[in-house]
Amino acid sequence: MRVVPISLLSQVRGLIRRGPSSRWYVVPAFARTNPTISYSEQVKEGNFDCKALDFNEIGVLRVSTSMKDDPYLALSFLKRIEGNVAFLPSVQAYATVIRIVCGWGLDQKLDTFLVELVRKGDAGRGFSVMDLLKAVGEAEKEGKGSLLLLSRLSSALVKAYASLEMFDEAIDIFFQTSPLGCAPDIKALNFLMNRMIASGENNMAVASFMNEDTKGVEKLLSRLLNSETRKPCVFYLNFIEGLCLNQMTGIAYLLLQPLRDANLLKEAYALFIRMKTTGIKPDVVTCTVLINIPKLDTKREMKAFDVKPDIVYYTVLIAKQCKVQDLLEAERIFAEMIESGLVPDVVPYTALIAGCCRNGFIHKAVTLMQVMWEKGIEPTKASLSAVHNAILRAKRLRSRK
């Protein structure tokens, strides 16, 4: 490659910057072109004049690709091209530069670049953001790396739209990319949620994710809770708070269950206290979900709010005591359930029978099954199998003695 003449460099003195890669390059501002070398070589040297060079779409794409080792120069080149040629750079050119920037891990540069790109609108840039995502995906090889890059790009696009308070477009990105497996990450969604709330768009924050049914919302938030982010609950809590503000407390309380399932008991407890202090009354389903939280006395909470336990609540309590091998307490809870006027069905019987078998009380398990038959309740196959296996296990132990 030819060296840029000293006379040329003297004309752009003060315009030379050092990039992070420690390579010197010239910012193309007032530099003259050298007609004896190709424009791709001139651009690499930072020596180009967009109006003087005969660029076309293929040329722009080729030059952009050649800058894979210098993301700053690639960005500078594309910005110069945008306002100095008779045509708009192709979506492939933008995709190429974005892949270069992402490859170097320049997230802040990508965010700034996309904000400007988003601000132009589809007409101003000549393509939609979904076209851009498609172009980036086609340029990458299929596989995990491709999905990671697309997820990174969709996250940056959501943040760009949210920064410009273009919330509808940000939400569209989420719902269009989710089925493709490259949805924005939780940090981007949290950024979007916070921007919505800060802008007074609580209704939009809730409505955006209520387009799906309740199961869809639970699935979405469960995925967020299982993400690798250290503090995944920020978005989750913001979302539930939005539900509460919009009188959707029933759904809000149902969404406590994924917190418990993810073993995020502290977060579930904090959310419960937060909701209670706002005057939101829990129901029996909520108290059942929160049984395993050590700090929370669900019985006291239910009494305070005049909430009556149901069979499901008692069954969960029985199963919990059986799990910690406190069969006496499990039997006491079972008796309390009957005394309260509730008629146990097959579920609490099954839980207690399993606890008896697990703790070696086979006679009690058989007695419970006889009671079930007398009441016309058919034991489950799981109960029959548990009792049968417990009897066989006991026989083997006796034979060894």
Count of CB atoms within 10 A of residue 269's CB? 18
Mean pLDDT score, 263-287: 73
- Supply the pLDDT for residue 8: 30
Residue 246 gets which letter from DSSP? Answer: T
For residues 308-334, give the mean pLDDT: 90
Look at residue 225 and tell me whether its pLDDT is greater than 60. Answer: no
**Mean pLDDT of the 352-361 span:** 89
Express each pLDDT in 296-305 by its tens digit: 788 888 888 8
SS (H, E, C) 305-342: CCCCCCHHHHHHHHHHHHHCCCHHHHHHHHHHHHHCCC
pLDDT (tens digit, 9 = 90+) per residue, 67-77? 888 899 999 88
How many Å apart are CA 112 and CA 96, to the nearest integer? 17
Q: What is the pLDDT of residues 119-148, one digit of tens each?
A: 999 988 899 999 999 999 887 765 556 788
Q: Quick one: pLDDT at residue 45?
A: 45
pLDDT of residue 133: 92
The structure tokens 């509460």 sit at: 244
Token digits of residue 396:
């083997």
The structure tokens 């059986």 sit at 322
CATH of domain 309-401: 1.25.40.10
CB 318 within 8 A of CB 295: no
Answer yes or no: is pLDDT of 330 > 90.
yes
Residue bearing the bigger pLDDT, 38 or 128: 128
Q: What is the pLDDT at residue 398?
A: 76
Identify the three-state secondary structure at position 170.
Answer: helix
The answer to whether 364 touches 356, Cβ cutoff 8 Å, is: yes
Amino acid at 236: Y
Task: Sketch the domain layout of the chain as residue ranges.
Answer: 185-303, 309-401
d(CA 210, CA 95): 32
Please identify which residue in the block is written with the tokens 């979900």: 289
pLDDT at 160 over 70: yes
pLDDT at 206: 58
- Closest by alpha carbon to 258, among 249, 247, 267? 267
